[in-house]
Amino acid sequence: MGSEAGIKCGYGALLRADCSSPLAALRFKMHDTSLNMSALMSSWVAAVLYGISIVLYVCCVRVLYHRGFSGFNRVLIVMATLQFLIATGHNITCLVQLIRGFITNGDIPNGPFIYFLDMALSEHVAQEALYITNSLLGDAILIWRLYIVWNGNWWLCGPFVMLVGATTICGYIAISHLAHFTPVDPVFLATLGNWILSTWSLSFVTQVSATLLIAYKIWASTAWGLRSSSSHMKVLWLVVESGAIYSFATAILLGLYASKANAGAIVGGALGQISCLVPTSIIVRIGFVGTSASTVGSFPSFRAAPRPPPQGSQTSGTITQGADTDTTQEIHLTDMVYEDRFKNSDLTDVEKGNSFLRGV
């Protein structure tokens, strides 16, 4: 009853609004989806991606289980579980909004539109808060990987920590403003919009720059002779592709919000799930990259010989040592540490290419 009264109150305020107001422009903007359609499509996309998240999470846990719950793996499984739970909550809030918007208020004239117009509803604020939180966790995992790959270089990683801190402040201030909106306040209001744009811009800069630095370190740490065919290069492209997906989606969302398009809600719903998918997919995909990989349990993982192969015995794909190989070293993306000793060592190119990664 209270919900219906709120809808009727908001509808009355909408009818009293001037047709030239930003609110009216939001309602009748040409070449844009309606609020109803944006909410429906956003929830549908989020549901599809959540289904993928379930599969990836199960695979991720299995991969990490076979690698052992210690060291970096413990951190990864805790973060993956936390992100999956947040993604689950995000999907639940989408479902709640669909039920309340199209069923609970479906019999009220323009009820669904008025419902989705009210950005301060608790379920919508919760959805955005969960998205921001998952995005921040994804950025934090990325910075942690940067720290590991760059061998604990705080001079390099320190600015990224500050970027994530600034993103956190801007994001939760935006959520606070959103929670105090009235039913007739458009989501593009400047008091909220400036904080939202700052949040997404800072996150975008963090994702792009950190991904490029990780990719550069992998590339620079691999011997010239191995860059075209080694499993290290497959890891490099995996990192670049995964980072590009999230960065590209964030850039689209920034553009749609800056142009005041309701369609941005569709991308926003997707990002609530993609922020969980990207870190998990990196862990899972590393187990399936490479046709010559050996297996750990039922998941393949890279193997590289610690000693150079005899002349003419190097094979394509995974680097092997030859028939006399008696030991192997397991390679994991999250365990990459660059050895500065390579610069002045007598190691061969193959040893340099294989040894800059170390196991847990």
Q: What are the structural domains, with CATH classification, of the chain?
A: 33-285 (1.20.1070), 299-355 (no CATH)
- Whether residue 12 has pLDDT greater than 80: no
Among 242, 176, 175, 237, which Cα is nearest to 207's? 242
| pTM assigned to the model | 0.73
Across the range 235-254, mean pLDDT stands at 85
Question: Strand, helix or coil at 303?
Answer: strand
Instruction: Quote the CA–CA distance of 285 and 333 in Å, as a whole number.
Output: 10
Lowest mean pLDDT among 86-90, 112-116, 126-130, 346-350: 346-350
Number of H helices, E strands in the chain: 11, 3
- Whether residue 228 has pLDDT greater than 60: no
Instruction: Quote the CA–CA distance of 218 and 243 in Å, as a whole number.
Output: 15
Q: Are 217 and 238 in contact (CB under 8 A)?
A: no
Among 88, 89, 65, 87, which Cα is nearest to 77's? 65
304 Cβ contact partners less than 8 Å away, ≥ 6 residues apart:
231, 318, 319, 328, 329, 331, 354, 357
pLDDT (tens digit, 9 = 90+) per residue, 272-283?
999 899 888 888
Q: What is the largest CA-CA distance in the chain?
A: 84
Q: Are 78 and 283 in contact (CB under 8 A)?
A: no
36 Cβ contact partners less than 8 Å away, ≥ 6 residues apart:
101, 102, 112, 113, 116
pLDDT (tens digit, 9 = 90+) per residue, 122-146?
999 999 999 999 999 999 999 988 9
